[in-house]
Amino acid sequence: MADSDNLTLNFGPQHPAAHGVLRLIMEMDGEVVHRIDPHVGLLHRGTEKLAETKPYNHSIGYMDRLDYISMMCCEHAYVLAIEKLLDVQPPIRAQYIRVMFDEITRILNHLLWLGCHGLDIGAMALFLYCFREREDLMDCYEAVSGSRMHATYYRPGGVYRDLPEEMPKYKANRFISKSKVKKLNYNREGTLLDFIADFTERFPSKVDEYEALLTDNRIWKQRTVNIGVVEPERAIELGFTGPMLRGSGVEWDLRRKEPYEVYDLLDFKIPIGLNGDCYDRYLVRVEEMRQSNLIIQQCVAWLNKNPGPVIIEDNKLTPPKRALMKHDMESLIYHFKLFSEGYSVPEGEIYCPVESPKGEFGVYIVSDGANKPYRLKVRAPSFAHLAAINEMVKGHMLADVVSVLGTLDLVFGELDR
């Protein structure tokens, strides 16, 4: 037989399985991948440079737009870093709210990941089920911040406002009858916490449904078992964090190892995989959803019992009450200074990581004592994960590239920044 050269194949940048804008240059020998060279940066917006030209609080919204699947976790890292530089501690209720929304975010992220990963591999129905549950969680985001995705809810010193007393309800119109609306609103009669509590009761059975579709599914296993295996030593060497590292059997979770906020008061387990293949990472993420559900339940129980302030009352850092501003000169001055100049952060540098659903999301801030960060660096977990794709797919078939891309859980907002 005549020797044939390797075929160079271009994948993306616009491709549904690329999960955004990713371009892969693949060197193929028939169906087998020899080398992959990912071209990233197509979504590079210079977030870090933009943040360096704005007061601290203006950039909280940018953090949502980094990992736009796990919005509040990104905010969390940024806000925590500023708090540590300022040496302030948010009220305990704010900490519980943040943890609750971090876990809601984790479920949001894993649901989207599961749906899209399934869709890539060919499980269409799952995608629709996952988005059904996501809808409820998006409503929680909306109820608390007014926005379904880019919440900008966390602030240095706490959260923007307390949890709302009532959930927004569906209203009847000429397409939806009154009786239908009543059915839709059955769990929206109480507070937001009641709504979340109702969700956490329903959710485990929904996870069972997903698992019934996938866990023992022959096609699912053929597509994921022994695909993209990473040994634990290699996972550490390659800078893997989060489910990618735990899937390889390394028990490492910042919520447990370097507890921030109130994670050390909560009870949860850390699932790990055994073989480090795509299937194990799937199992890890599914179990994480169940654990997150438990954490949310604990937070809801605590928050129901303990009212209190949700943001510190230091007017150099947080805005004064609106009513106070109308007759108190000091408050008016603080308000003006805060919204025109912002607050100055003491000189120093800090690296603050949180366990985002994708792995270790860290924010490194260098401050020179100004009202803007001198240097902001975002450590995105996906960045290290995608860098390893060449090693993970070498020798696999072309179709497995899609499995591996799915298992990496990439979001280009944070990868390209």
Partner 1 sequence: MVNKKYEQLNDLIDQYLNSFEIVKTNDGTSITLELKKDDLIEICSLLKNTEALNFSMLIDVCGIDYLHYGVGDWETTKATASGYSRAVQQNTIIPDPDEKYQEKRFAVIYHLLSIDKNWRIRLKTFTGSENPPIVQSVTGIWNSADWFEREAFDLFGIYFDGHPDLRRILTDYGFIGHPFRKDFPLAGNLEVFHDDLEQKVKYRPVSITTRPTVPKVIRKKKNS
C-alpha–C-alpha distance, residues 251 and 272, integer Å: 6
Does residue 237 belong to the site contacting partner 1 (CB under 8 A)? Answer: yes
List 353, 357, 406, 413, residue binding partner 1 (CB under 8 A): 353
**What is the Cα–Cα distance from 247 to 342, expressed in whole angstroms?**
43
Choose between 148 and 377: whose C-beta lies nearer to partner 1.
377
Selected from 150, 255, 335, 417, the binder of partner 1 by CB under 8 A is: 417
Candidate ranges 143-151, 170-178, 286-294, 373-381; the one touching partner 1 (CB under 8 A): 373-381
Of 3-11, 40-48, 62-70, 217-225: span binding partner 1 (CB under 8 A): 40-48
Q: Contact, 263 vs 256, CB < 8 A? A: yes
CB of 271 to partner 1, least distance (A): 17
Any contact of residue 27 with partner 1 (CB under 8 A)? no
Nearer to partner 1, 183 or 394 (CB): 394
- Cα atoms in the Cβ-side hemisphere of radius 13 Å centred on 41: 2
What would the two tokens of residue 208 be? 């069972």
- The secondary structure of 279-334 as a DSSP string is HHHHHHHHHHHHHHHHHHHHHHHHHHH----SB---TTTSPPPHHHHHH-HHHHHH
| Nearer Cβ to partner 1 (123/254) | 254
Among 19, 20, 33, 48, binds partner 1 (CB under 8 A): 48
In this structure, the number of other CB atoms found within 10 A of the CB of residue 340 comes to 9
Instruction: Tell whether residue 384 is a contact of partner 1 (CB under 8 A).
Output: yes
Determine the Cα–Cα distance for residues 127 and 287; give it in Å rounded to an integer.
18
**Residues 362/351, Cβ–Cβ less than 8 Å:** yes
Nearer of residues 33 and 126 to partner 1, judged by Cβ: 33
Contact between 261 and partner 1 by CB under 8 A: the answer reads: no
Contact of 79 with 97, CB cutoff 8 Å: no
State the Cα–Cα distance between residues 215 and 229, nearest whole angstrom.
18
Which of 307/369 has CB closer to partner 1?
369
SS3 184: helix
Closest to partner 1 by CB, 321 or 394: 394
* Residues at the site binding partner 1, with contacts judged by CB under 8 A: 40-41, 44, 46, 48-50, 53-55, 58, 236-239, 241, 250, 252, 257-258, 340-342, 344, 346, 348-351, 353, 360, 362, 364, 366, 368-372, 374-375, 377, 379, 383-384, 386-387, 416-417
